[in-house]
Structure 1
Amino acid sequence: MTTDERHEYHSETELADLNAEIASDLEKLGLKQTDVESTIKNDDNEDSKYHIITFESRAGHRYQLYTVPEIYPSILSFEYNLARQVGRGLDEATIADLLTDLPEEFPLDVDEKKTESAGLIALSNMSDAELEELNYRIIDEVNTDRVDFETRMYEEVIHSVRIMGALFPKEDSHTIQHTEEIQIAIQSTGIRLNQFIMYAFSGLDGKDTEDITSEGPLF
């Protein structure tokens, strides 16, 4: 879809007003607002987001609320970072070994995201069969009627999943109860995915550095 073909459902001012209403709901539901970015616009990027509001739950989980003019609803999202979770299970020696001789076009800033970078390299070292099985199991955990999702991939492995729910604040039927239902659906899907990842990679502590760097974590 080109920029000229996109239909804008809301003006930028309306987007801010719509998200402010949902933000009020989320704060009443116990989420703490931590950041607001009024507009991130890129005419060449169909994923441009408008009026992004970041929240944090009592458990430390971060959510983002945003709207884009090309779609009707506002979106509440939570990003589950598989690479970072796997990286947390690696010891310092393994992390150091994994971060030597990185590919030129590595997608992460290693200085800022050392643990996540090591986890991503470890995952990409897995066999094709293991990667295929892991990707299948991840999709199986998040593919429900209650939420939408997007995956991010590197070297054929899913390393991050954005779990999303649609909210329609301009509709007469919109209520704080609906906002809560969407937030709980996103949260429960994220918890289920985390439980699978924690179980699948629970044996990392017992693996040798050489095995992980050569074969990946092998869930």
Structure 2
Amino acid sequence: MEFSTTLNNRISIRDFKDKQISKEILKTIVSDAQQAPSWANSQPWRVYIATGDTMKEIQKSHITKTEAGLKGNSDLAVKDIKEWGELPWSNMSTWLDKVGSDETMTDFTAANVRLWNSPAMAYITVPKTTPVWSIYDAGSFAQTLMLSATDHGLDSMVAYENIKYPDEIRKNLGVSEEEIIVAGIALGYRSENKINNFTNNRLTTEKILTIK
């Protein structure tokens, strides 16, 4: 697949088919992601992928906690979105308005709770001892992994919801308390659910770019 096609085909998918992903493909996209850059070749990341019964246990736990009204307690602190700054808040506010008014997103909240019906979830961690710059490295790794997934016919969804309850991840995958769970990436094959038709615009390049 041409890079521009891969880049534009990677969108956030909010409902997946009940179809498992082969371990060979999962291993390949992680191997591809290892080409991501990192500070002084530190490669601080580790990857834990939940599949099959493990994934179902995490989804079951997630639904139970959410229905009980348990507040999220992700490893990375979360500010109120209104405190993120003028530009991010403006972008998020526009997105939230569109989510609330778009009929394709009527199932959005329920889709979050069931973790998108994803057959697999890749969790990316870094050691607690690494500097904050390792978060950048983990983000680079995550994006490379998602682009590789697209190139191999998979879809993806990265979201706060995926790492909202880190205890369920640690319990089912053996992630130690000495690791920060930075990201959770749902992987699978997109379903025909109308929620996957939702699209969103990016700012114009001129809005964010300065060249002097």
What range is the shorter-chain TM-score in?
A: under 0.3
Larger Rg: 1
More strand by percentage: 1
Provide TM-score, normalisation by structure 2.
Answer: 0.24
Provide TM-score, normalisation by structure 1.
Answer: 0.24
